[in-house]
Amino acid sequence: MKKTEKEIQHPKNVIFKQNEEPLMVEEPPLVYHAKRYSYADYLTWTDDVLREIIDGIVYSFASPTLKHAIAVRTFIGRAFYFITKRKGKCEIFTAPFDVLLPTNGETDNDKIYNVVQPDILVVCDLSKIETGVCIGAPDMIAEMLSPSTKKKDLSVKFNLYEKVGVKEYWVVCPNNKTVTVYILQQNNKYDAGTTYEVAHGATHVPVKTLKGLNIELKELFKDITA
């Protein structure tokens, strides 16, 4: 079949087609091209495809797995109860929830090139919540790792969250039953990360953003199919 001018050849022989909808990167492949998509473009897409934009590049992602959903539900449940009981000023949200991350204080939709859908986010400065979206870095983000999102979560998103100042970043791996927590340091860089592994006897993980809250790993990684 003859290629059209709108087809783009990835270096690893993966063909991506560009139609009326944006050129999407189906994880894990990554492709760079002249067009940078913005939040203004994002608002024009009306289909049901789950997407994020990072540095102007569009990523599509699949619906969560059962293990993924259980981990998110557990964290949300514990954190929401904790915040309500303590009458804290923070709020917790879960995807789908648009998080706009300007890198240089941009406010115009066509100048914002980072729109993400974190699995979990905690926001303590509620002035960042406007018209159903978060504009600016949440205090904490947790991403549930999967084979298809591993590269993005550990590199592309890691670098973005560090750059915009997310103070606490959790990478949760339900398959390996591990949680790695990165804390932003005074030099605006993440530390080397602290990994909590069920296999090595870890039982809970403290949430620095919500001081006093601990997430039990046996609940986070509960297997309801057993």
- Show the tokens assigned to 38: 């913005």
Under the banding of pLDDT at 50, 70 and 90, the label for residue 150 is confident
Residue 19 lies in a domain: yes
Strands 133-135 vs 178-183: parallel, antiparallel or unpaired = unpaired
Q: What distance in Å separates the CA atoms of residue 130 and residue 19, rounded to the nearest whole number?
A: 32
Co-location of 15 and 81 in the same domain: no
Region of 23 on the Ramachandran plot (φ > 0 left; ψ -120 to 50 alpha; else beta): beta
Average pLDDT of every residue of the chain: 84
Residue 226 lies in a domain: no
pLDDT > 70: percent of the chain: 84
Residue 1 lies in a domain: no
- How many folded domains does the chain comprise? 2
DSSP labels, 120-171: EEEES-GGGEETTEEES--SEEEEE--TTTHHIIIIIHHHHHHHHT-SEEEE
Decide if pLDDT at 87 tops 70.
Answer: yes
Please report which residue ranges of the chain form alpha helices under DSSP H.
39-42, 66-86, 150-151, 157-164, 217-220
Co-location of 94 and 21 in the same domain: no
Co-location of 203 and 92 in the same domain: yes
Domain span holding position 120: 66-220
pLDDT for res 34 = 56
- Show the tokens assigned to 197: 């592994």
pLDDT for res 225 = 57
**Whether 197 contacts 156, CB under 8 Å:** no
Decide if pLDDT at 100 tops 50.
Answer: yes
**Residue 66 DSSP one-character state:** H
- Show the tokens assigned to 124: 């303590």
pTM above 0.85, yes or no: no
Residue 2 lies in a domain: no
pLDDT for res 67 = 87
Residue 225 lies in a domain: no
End position of a domain, from candidates 35, 60, 85: 60
What mean pLDDT do residues 207-225 have? 89
pLDDT for res 224 = 59
Co-location of 52 and 79 in the same domain: no
Co-location of 115 and 100 in the same domain: yes
pLDDT for res 223 = 77
Co-location of 92 and 178 in the same domain: yes
Co-location of 185 and 141 in the same domain: yes
**Residue 110 DSSP one-character state:** G
What mean pLDDT do residues 30-55 have? 83
Co-location of 42 and 71 in the same domain: no
Co-location of 93 and 146 in the same domain: yes
Q: What distance in Å separates the CA atoms of residue 82 and residue 72, rounded to the nearest whole number?
A: 15
Q: Which pLDDT tens digit goes with each residue over 110-137?
A: 999 999 999 999 999 999 998 889 999 9
CATH number, domain containing residue 170: 3.90.1570.10
pLDDT for res 119 = 94
Co-location of 145 and 128 in the same domain: yes
Under the banding of pLDDT at 50, 70 and 90, the label for residue 23 is very low
Residue 146 lies in a domain: yes
